[in-house]
Amino acid sequence: QLQLQESGPGLVKPSETLSLTCTVSGDSVTNTDFYWGWIRQPPGKGPEWSGSVYSSGGTYYNPSLKGRLTVSLDTSKNQISLTLRSVTAADTAVYFCVRQSRARTFDIFWGQGTLVTVSS
Amino acid sequence: EIELTQSPDSLAVSLGERATLNCKSSRSVLYSSNNRNYLAWYQQKPGQPPKLLIYWASTRESGVPDRFSGSGSGTDFTLTISSLQAEDVAVYYCQQYYSIPTLSFGGGTKVEI
């Protein structure tokens, strides 16, 4: 049974770097059938796809975050990482880890999410 | 980038009445090779992740009550709740997955009683 568990600091100061980890159980991040990535949802707003990666190393980023965001895989720990630099209050959100099928089918699995607040 | 616009922003419906939610895409999400619309609907309650209701624009997820139905094709889609129940109070989002892995979501419609 697939499980995605997000973890990281709940509070980050403005201008600093936000780092989150998603631990995968029930599948391997080396599975080439899937993209692994992140969706975030600011308070009171709709979800926003942030970025995805797959095991060959290909990465895809939301243009609104490109330049500040890195999504990567740690195959030794079976984890997905998110690093967002130079954060502001606008980056306050619930961050969800997701797995998406690379085939043209519908297969999107969400983690439960973790709230990150950017504040001094 | 495919943009999704939902209307209305909020909707007040009496118990047992019909709710109609709309989602318009900036580009067609109909994939001609398989004639499928790459559009999903989610329900979200406070403090919870989005819950999948509908995919392929009209296929109900297992366990979702049949009062929820999806329709539409190309750029215009509708989620209908045929007889609103108290537990249906939530925010509803449409999502396109035509351009995977890039996903986009509508701004949401809040359904109240």
CB-nearest to A47 from B1, B50, B52 is B50
CB-nearest to A106 from B55, B93, B104 is B55
CA distance B3 to A98: 20
pLDDT per residue as tens digits for the range B48-105: 999 999 999 999 999 999 999 999 999 999 999 999 999 999 999 999 999 889 999 9
pLDDT at A56: 83
Q: Helices in chain B by DSSP H: which ranges?
A: none
**Is the Cβ of B86 closer than 8 Å to some Cβ of chain A?**
no
Residue B2 has pLDDT above 80, yes or no: yes
CA distance A23 to A75: 11
pLDDT per residue as tens digits for the range B37-51: 999 999 999 989 999
Residues of B in contact with A111 (CB under 8 A): 49
| Residue labelled with tokens 């609907």 | B41
Q: Tell me if the bond preceding B101 is cis, omega within 30° of 0.
A: yes
pLDDT averaged per 10 residues in sequence order, chain A, 120 residues: 96 97 97 95 95 90 92 96 97 97 90 96
pLDDT at B5: 97
pLDDT at A55: 87
pLDDT at B96: 96
pLDDT at A66: 75
CA distance A46 to B91: 9
Which residues, 6 or more positions from A15, have their beta carbon under 8 angstroms from its beta carbon? A86, A87, A88
Q: Give yes or no for a contact between B93 and B44, defined as CB atoms under 8 angstroms apart.
A: yes
CA distance A64 to A50: 8
Residues of B in contact with A104 (CB under 8 A): 31, 33-34, 38, 100
Q: Give yes or no for a contact between A24 and A3, defined as CB atoms under 8 angstroms apart.
A: yes
Q: Give me the count of residues in chain A.
A: 120
